[in-house]
């Protein structure tokens, strides 16, 4: 059974204070690891897909990295508009063709 654990559950930062969110996973045959952003009352918004250990992707102030056991979402010099819940998910090679999600990290960036 695929499992995803995200930490911390919640994180409060000052504007400009860089940090990282963690996503630990166990999966049978990783087909992809995904990061999404979710704002209150909205659907998850796609950020990144990572396919293999060592892969990195960047978008504005966000950078996602992947190892064989975990992924990090690094946030550099965040702004208040980066406040959201960040979701991590994996697609494994067995069972149903769907994503297994973590419970998310609720990020608040204070001005």
Partner 1 sequence: DAGITQSPRHKVTETGTPVTLRCHQTENHRYMYWYRQDPGHGLRLIHYSYGVKDTDKGEVSDGYSVSRSKTEDFLLTLESATSSQTSVYFCATKLTAGQETQYFGPGTRLLVL
Number of H helices, E strands in the chain: 0, 11
Residue 34: CB minimum distance to partner 1, A? 7
Nearer to partner 1, 66 or 87 (CB): 87
Using CB under 8 A, list all residues that contact partner 1: 4, 31-32, 34, 36, 41-46, 49, 51, 87, 89, 91, 96-104
Yes or no: say if 62 and 39 are a contact pair by the CB < 8 Å rule: no
CA-based nearest residue to 26, from 72, 55, 68: 68
Residue 93: CB minimum distance to partner 1, A? 11
């Amino acid at each position: 059974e695929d499992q995803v654990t995200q930490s911390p559950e919640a994180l409060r930062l000052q504007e400009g204070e860089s940090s990282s969110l963690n996503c630990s996973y166990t999966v049978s045959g990783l087909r992809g690891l995904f990061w999404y952003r979710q704002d209150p009352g909205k659907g998850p918004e796609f950020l990144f897909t990572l396919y293999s250990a060592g892969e990195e992707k960047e978008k504005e102030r966000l950078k996602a990295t992947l190892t064989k056991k975990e992924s990090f979402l690094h946030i550099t010099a965040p702004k208040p508009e980066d406040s959201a819940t960040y979701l991590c998910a994996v697609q494994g090679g067995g069972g149903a063709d769907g994503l297994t999600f973590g419970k998310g990290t609720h990020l608040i960036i204070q001005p």
